């Protein structure tokens, strides 16, 4: 169970409800996932985190699906079970196909492998990569 | 310096040269970066790693640039200096703009933050994410 | 279930019981948590680990609460579910308030984010930080 | 060298300079460290990151020194060379003594060890820690 | 539940069945563990991963038990619950005794501790280690 | 440079010298590497860390070379440059051949890859692995 429990909408302060409302509006959904309900015990962190995510995940130079797949790649590398579940769902909602999921996982796996081969063999950075 | 040193093309066995030649042909380049030269002391690993990367990084359901950005995202999360340098260069060669780099870094940073907020608050996975 | 099972007090050797007794005495508690019961299959590691923790976690230049919060910060960064649960409980027993928990999590999250922004942008260490 | 280079004060846009000025004012210093100069190529991320850090690191339920030591603990666990250097310097500026540094490192080291003993032995979370 | 579900033998394509058959033959077992069933949605990754593992884990300069213990060491350091469970079982099948398990865990724990003491104190690599 | 600098033998207190002497005697060497010289500012941590390593790394159910290779595997997974350099040197001194190094790296790389495939596909632990 979340350390401090979950703050449900009906029990939330107006300050927290305003964030919940904005999350649902931006994401075009009618529910709030546990991450936000757990953060809501600290309304300052709740608001800052949401405002940051809203800004960062909005389509820009990268589209929404690419951003969600990057989020999954990081979460998988870090072994964060909650984030893998929630962002895999988000990526699929954003249109990720099974074939794209498969390629995403293949790249993440390979990158984790060669990250260790490079450090394990103590490979020096090529001069060409430094300029 | 790499643990076992670097195998230069001129000193390479025919088996290693064949891999080097294929790397240069596939990547349309005329040089081999240190990672491969360090791996070349173990020709079996050299070949397997190259064949895997060639297969995984080829455009498919995801394009080459997206794959390189995912590679960077993983390398940054893992703090692999060599891989950050080499795959940032590869992503730029594949067309990544400064604006895309900025958004990539912003997503990677945010994902690393919320990965810890989720685990730190011991948030349970929502039932909806499990189906 | 723990790989080798848990050694309960009633089934423990005198050597293991002596460690259990010291844990309960130092921590002013009447139970042993699973971590120690799982380690008890290797009495040498059990004793060394307990003696190290007892020495390290004793109040000194840093007070007990600060040390427990640092322990939580590391455990969260490493995604160790067991350690997050046990050391969050220990920190709360040592007096951590909900407000302190919230600030601890905010710092941990932010540090994890900027750790990746710093490495992702390949930022060189400032000369002033090296002296 | 930082991927996109460093934006020096004299070359910065008014938007970036405003952030630099605020950093120097809040930190009561007359220079900007490389981290911010590397981020400045993306003024939106620069501002958001600074505003978040300013909010999070301000003394509150936890004092400034405790927050800096937590920052160091995370950076050490993540092997972020830049962040270890910069936040160790910040913690010392905030008053961390050599004795406190020594205890901080001892706790960080021990936590990293027991994080793996707990997961390695597949220890289940005690029921008492879940409530 | 695995993201895309598990592909059981009876429902598998001939391509997937061929890999399953080879896994059972090489491992001298009559069942397939969930890892492969989850990967089977992407037959290319399934085959490449299996061929790589078959090649890498075959006895060579290192024996099978040593390789399995190294696999466990990595999985524990990365906090991968699935891999800790499956490779601990594999190591025990390959002959790992309880005493060897205990020493393995002790080394893994210690290495994780000193990895952070080395980086936390910003220790420079000795010249003798570079040659 | 190490945060607090390095304590050379000639400048060390009798307490620190005693540890240095024991390190050189046990390792049958005539020099002290930087790790210990950096720790020596905190003699309590210096002694505890050395006594733990001496106990853990002594040949027992696992031989010295196997233990050193496990140490390298962990250090590579954690991207600890200092520890990779020092423990690769130690493993070679303990007899690790180039072929063994190659296989060690291959296993470490593969384990890091499948750790992420297992978590990325959210694979559930098989019932058989839990008993």
pLDDT tens for each residue of C50-99 = 999 999 999 999 999 999 999 999 999 999 999 999 999 999 999 999 99
Tens digits of residue pLDDT in E19-54: 999 999 999 999 999 999 999 999 999 999 999 999
Instruction: Quote the ipTM score.
Output: 0.97
Spatial CA neighbour of A63 closest among B103, B92, C90 = B103
Given this model, what pLDDT does residue B131 score? 64
Give the residue, D130 or C85, on which the prediction is more confident. Answer: C85
The Cβ-side half-sphere exposure at B73, using a 13 Å CA radius, reads: 35
Confidence grade of residue C49 (pLDDT, cut at 50, 70, 90) = very high
Question: Which residues of chain D lie closer than 8 angstroms to A55, CB-CB?
Answer: 44, 48
Given this model, what pLDDT does residue F131 score? 64
Chains in touch with A (≥3 Cβ pairs < 8 A): B, C, D, E, F
pLDDT of E131 > 80? The answer is no
Report the residue from F39, F121, F128 with minimal CB separation from E38: F121
Interface contacts A/B by beta carbons within 8 Å: 218
Report the mean per-residue pLDDT for chain A: 97
Integer Cα distance of B46 and B26 in angstroms: 15
Work out the average pLDDT over D63-86: 98
User: Quick one: closest CA in F to A109, which residue?
Assistant: F113
Confidence grade of residue B1 (pLDDT, cut at 50, 70, 90) = confident
Given this model, what pLDDT does residue A131 score? 64
Torsion of CA C20, C26, C31, C32, to 10 degrees: -50
Contact B62, A91 (CB under 8 A): no
Integer Cα distance of C77 and B113 in angstroms: 9
DSSP for B7-68, please give it. --GGG--HHHHHHHHHHHHHHT-S---HHHHHHTTSHHHHHHHHHHHHHHHSSSSS-HHHHH
Tens digits of residue pLDDT in B21-65: 999 999 999 999 999 999 999 999 999 999 999 999 999 999 999
Q: Which residues of chain A have pLDDT under 50?
A: none
Q: How far is CA E49 from the centre of its chain?
A: 11
Please give the structure tokens belonging to residue D7.
């934006």
Q: What are phi and psi of E8, to 5 degrees?
A: -75, 155
Given this model, what pLDDT does residue C131 score? 64
Integer Cα distance of B23 and B49 in angstroms: 11
3-state secondary structure of C38: helix
Question: Which of A55-70 are b and which e, b meaning 16 or more Cβ less than 10 Å from the residue's Cβ?
Answer: ebbeebebebbbbbbb
Please give the structure tokens belonging to residue C78.
């490493």
F51 in D contact zone (CB under 8 Å): no
User: Quick one: closest CA in B to D45, which residue?
Assistant: B106
Give how far A87 is from chain F: nearest CA, Å.
11
Given this model, what pLDDT does residue E125 score? 97
Give how far A126 is from chain F: nearest CA, Å.
17
Give how far E7 is from chain A: nearest CA, Å.
14
Spatial CA neighbour of A123 closest among B30, B8, F81 = F81
DSSP for D49-73, please give it. HHHHHHHHHSSSSS-HHHHHHHHHH
Spatial CA neighbour of E79 closest among C74, B114, D2 = C74
**What Rg value do the Cα atoms of chain F yield, rounded?**
18
Q: Are A102 and E78 in contact (CB < 8 Å)?
A: no
User: Quick one: closest CA in F to D116, which residue?
Assistant: F74
Preferred mutation among C39, C46, C48, C119 to probe F, highest tally of F CBs within 10 A? C48
Given this model, what pLDDT does residue D44 score? 97
Spatial CA neighbour of A62 closest among B108, F29, D92 = B108
Preferred mutation among B36, B66, B88 to probe A, highest tally of A CBs within 10 A? B66
Confidence grade of residue D59 (pLDDT, cut at 50, 70, 90) = very high
User: Quick one: closest CA in C to F128, which residue?
Assistant: C1
Tens digits of residue pLDDT in E60-94: 999 999 999 999 999 999 999 999 999 999 999 99
The Cβ-side half-sphere exposure at E45, using a 13 Å CA radius, reads: 28
Report the residue from B3, B78, B80 with minimal CB separation from F101: B3
Integer Cα distance of A109 and E85 in angstroms: 19
Torsion of CA B46, B47, B52, B58, to 10 degrees: 100
D81 in E contact zone (CB under 8 Å): yes
Residue E62 CA: distances (Å) to CA of E59, E67, F76, F97, F104: 6, 7, 18, 10, 8
Give how far A103 is from chain E: nearest CA, Å.
9
Q: What are phi and psi of F98, to 5 degrees?
A: -60, -35
pLDDT of D83 > 70? The answer is yes
Q: Cβ contacts of residue E18 below 8 Å, gap of 6+?
A: none
pTM of the model: 0.98
End-to-end CA separation in angstroms for chain D = 49
Q: Cβ contacts of residue A54 below 8 Å, gap of 6+?
A: A22, A26
Q: Hey, which bits of C1-131 come out as E strands?
A: none
Please give the structure tokens belonging to residue D29.
């210093």
Given this model, what pLDDT does residue F1 score? 78
Long-range Cβ contact pairs of B23-29 (< 8 A, separation 24 or more): B23/B50, B26/B54
Confidence grade of residue C23 (pLDDT, cut at 50, 70, 90) = very high
E55 in B contact zone (CB under 8 Å): yes
Q: Which residues of chain F have pLDDT under 50?
A: none
Tokens 């020092």: give the residue.
Answer: F86
Work out the average pLDDT over C8-27: 98
Integer Cα distance of C35 and C57 in angstroms: 16
Given this model, what pLDDT does residue E15 score? 98
Q: Are E111 and F1 in contact (CB < 8 Å)?
A: no
């Amino acid at each position: 169970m979340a350390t401090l429990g979950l703050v449900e909408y009906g029990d939330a302060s107006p300050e927290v409800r305003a964030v919940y409302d904005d999350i649902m509006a931006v994401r075009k959904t009618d529910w709030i996932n546990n991450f936000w309900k757990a953060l809501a015990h600290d309304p300052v962190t709740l608001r800052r985190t949401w405002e940051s995510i809203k800004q960062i995940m909005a389509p820009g130079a990268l589209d929404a699906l690419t951003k969600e797949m990057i989020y999954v790649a990081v979460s998988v590398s870090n072994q964060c079970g909650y984030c893998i579940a929630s962002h895999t769902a988000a990526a699929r909602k954003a249109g990720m196909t099974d074939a794209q999921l498969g390629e995403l996982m293949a790249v993440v796996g390979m990158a984790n492998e060669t990250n260790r081969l490079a450090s394990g063999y103590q490979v020096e950075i090529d001069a060409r990569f430094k300029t």
